[in-house]
A = this chain, B = another copy of it.
Amino acid sequence: MIKKYFEKNRKLIDKKLEFFLPKRSIHPRIIHEAMRYSVLNGGKRIRPMLVLESSRICGGKTKNALPIACAIELVHSYSLIHDDLPSMDDADIRRGKPSCHVKYGEALAILAGDSLLTLAFNLISRGKDKSKTGRIIFEISKAIGSFGMIGGQVMDLKVKDEKIVDLPTMEYINIHKTASLIAASAKAGALMANAPDKKVEALQKYGEFIGLAFQVIDDILDKDGYVGIFGLSGAREEAQKLAERAKDLLKIFGSKADNLRELADFVVNRKE
């Protein structure tokens, strides 16, 4: 069931991303081509799905949450483009294809990332209910700035060459680089649905735990990070524990939150 639900929402998100991104025919074409190349590439769309699902279980309308969901995916794409750059993680391949700077050159890759981040805020600012969208822009910009996602990337770069990283530093990196935006996704969906504080906080915390679990699994798949400290089975246990803590937070939503429970399991059981 969850699979069918995911598939349906992924298609919806892809359709909307395609709609919100500037057309390839618009001047200057090359930047719009690079932006589309990096976003419309078969991503899992976990973050936007979380926005939609958080909104839904708080009584919000999918239609209203969709621009926020797409904006968060644009932010995610921007962060991947910049992280992949030669001066950062120097990754040539992204989702099985040449990364943005390999395909379009460094300058255009930097500018495509900049444009996607800018477009994300533009998308959110178009919302009719300005008191909500203002709050959402505040929360997302806090989550992805130098106290959030970018702070995580800064520390990640700093420890890149060190073979052994201590646990507090690794946790700082994972909370900021990965979990922060996932937590903001869940929070934004709840805020868009006018959820009470208690539900907003529960969903944000849920997002943070599955974000961390997501990162531990990444480390297992890459034989990196947590695996070095906990070993392979220890890391698996840690991911499981985080997913359980995430699911504990969903009690107040009852059976409505079953999709989010399955999403937590999906994150822990994923093989890629």
Copies of this protein in the assembly total 2
Contact of A141 among B82, B121, B146 (CB under 8 A): B121
A194-207 near B? 1/0 per residue, CB < 8 Å: 00000000000000
Question: Which of chain A's residues 95-126 have a Cβ closer than 8 Å to chain B?
Answer: 105-108, 110-111, 113-115, 117-119, 121-122, 124-126
Q: Which residues on the B side are within 8 Å of A108 (C-beta)? A: 154, 157
Q: Is the CB of A30 within 8 A of B117?
A: no
With A145-B119, A151-B31 as known contacts, state yes or no: A125 contacts B134, CB within 8 Å.
yes
Q: Does A170 contact B (CB under 8 A)?
A: no
Q: Does A243 contact B (CB under 8 A)?
A: no
Q: Does A232 contact B (CB under 8 A)?
A: no
Q: Which residues on the B side are within 8 Å of A27 (C-beta)? A: 151
**Residues of chain A at the chain B interface (Cβ within 8 Å):** 22, 26-28, 30-32, 35, 82, 85, 87-88, 105-108, 110-111, 113-115, 117-119, 121-122, 124-127, 130-131, 133-135, 137-138, 141-142, 144-147, 150-151, 153-155, 157-158
